[in-house]
Structure 1
């Protein structure tokens, strides 16, 4: 299977806009029915061998339930631990009909979830309830299977990169509000947020963080790309080298992103190594400028025991 197959935004923009809203419908159920975790780690989706999942959440007649997007059969599958399962096709749905079918599935499971604000978060139509959105209904199974395959490949690269750090770090996960897949490393130093910062921002950036990830493109950057940022951004960050020729620092919202365009990564002799090099360069730039204990937080070969780190693999 091709590593990082082409996925230009222009070819699947309409499908992406529909799926983004489908994901937000289910994501808001996940948000409401899960126990809150620091930095909103309870909110995102996780990858499966067929798509993405909420993981077990809530109670349905005494049983936890899950909601999965299956991008092989192109179905939404809701199931509870007692074996009850409801599924329906993802194609042929508007956001309104998807929203209705999802709530009907929860009713069959016996899941009583009080979901506030059932409208898009931070999207242009945030004032329109999902139940009234008959505009978004594009669904191309080929393109959306490719989205899942790219997401899965990026997740494995991020998991490999994550192995080199022993400090506080997020899982590799797929956020439904920004539709990206990040992995983040934290110091334990608190950060002060401005008084006008919203609750999402306050919790996400309550500690110093260096985040790494991938997004599929949007109106502000209309192409897929790998990226990293440090928050709060230390002085001189964008002066640091990124150790990968086609990567660059990009000014965005008053700070800087280390960016490697997806198509530039694909053009490299070893795309996998190119992405890891950018993530490593961005980490060294951010952690170095912010004076993190880089040596103390290193985890060579995924081990923290010095004896194991020096020993050959068993």
Structure 2
């Protein structure tokens, strides 16, 4: 085991692009079979000791439910139902089309029902092609998939530690299948009024003022993994706020600014986890102070809100 093992973008790009689409197929099942939550919190995956899970969903009038899990140790997809029935299949060697068909068969095999409204990729270059027709993406390297999950799990725990330092409204730490990142978001509570032209997904995700932080694995426009943070709406002067450590910087992306700490820079730090936590805290403070948040009120040192507990023994 190694904290933050290397995973260069180009080295695993083919596996990443296939796995991203596998995740979107399962994610759309989750979207169809779960009750809607504020800010789409019902939709993302959560990490497990062997991979990631949709969590139980699809509660029927008869009390039945089901769950879909990726196992990145045995490299299988598992569908289980509340009555104990189960179905699974191996992930290596499958195209997206084959994965889509086998998942449908597995769901039917346990009596699970979830009609995907739009069975094609979301916000990817091939968004016009149905999953059932995608024979192009068919690369699954087990070692790379396992490393992806281990990095996700390590980052998950670092984000949990960051989240513990703040007591205001916050999201779970969760893995978004549409953007393929893992994130946690803090909310000020202020309502954001969007123009009518803003799409429904964005309107719900950013209906309140936020500082969001996370990690993503890179994409063609930014071909390397990195930790990030942003404030939305972006306050004036955000890109001039200081960041830690020295390798961190502000990057313009899609008309706004991201605080970015490259994964390789974090790996090279004497204390990689400490460097990431310092980065996340500096980016949060940069946005929150400019936006006028009460950072002292919501501070939660070492996860304690009670002043006696926070003070420690004696």
CA contact (8 A) 1:157 1:276 kept: yes
Residue correspondence of structure 1 range 113-128 to structure 2 within 5 A: 113-128=114-129
Are the structure 2 counterparts of residues 258 and 312 from structure 1 closer, same or farther at C-alpha, using a change threshold of 3 Å?
Answer: farther
Q: Which ranges in structure 2 are unaligned for 5 or more consecutive residues?
A: none
DSSP 3-state at the match of 2:172: coil
Q: Which ranges in structure 1 are unaligned for 5 or more consecutive residues?
A: none
Which residue of structure 2 aligns with residue 160 of structure 1? 161
Residue correspondence of structure 1 range 1-314 to structure 2 within 5 A: 1-59=1-59, 62-312=63-313
CA contact (8 A) 1:59 1:111 kept: no
CA contact (8 A) 2:244 2:275 kept: no
Which deviates more from structure 2 when the two are superposed, residues 53-62 or residues 206-215?
Answer: 53-62
DSSP 3-state at the match of 2:155: helix
DSSP 3-state at the match of 1:20: helix
CA contact (8 A) 1:164 1:298 kept: yes
Normalising by structure 1, we get a TM-score of 0.98
Number of aligned positions between the proteins: 313
Return the alpha-carbon distance in structure 1 between the equivalents of residues 55 and 113 of structure 2. Answer: 17
CA contact (8 A) 2:54 2:68 kept: yes
CA RMSD between the two structures: 1.1
Normalising by structure 2, we get a TM-score of 0.98
Give the drift of 1:59: 3.3
Give the drift of 1:147: 0.2
Give the drift of 1:301: 1.2
Give the drift of 1:68: 0.2
Regions of 4+ moved over 2 Å: 59-62
User: Which digits, 9 at most, give the CA deviation of each residue in 1:110-161, with x for residues without a partner?
Assistant: 1121211100000000010000001100000000000000000000000000
User: Which digits, 9 at most, give the CA deviation of each residue in 1:167-220, with x for residues without a partner?
Assistant: 000000000000000000001101121221111000000000000000000011
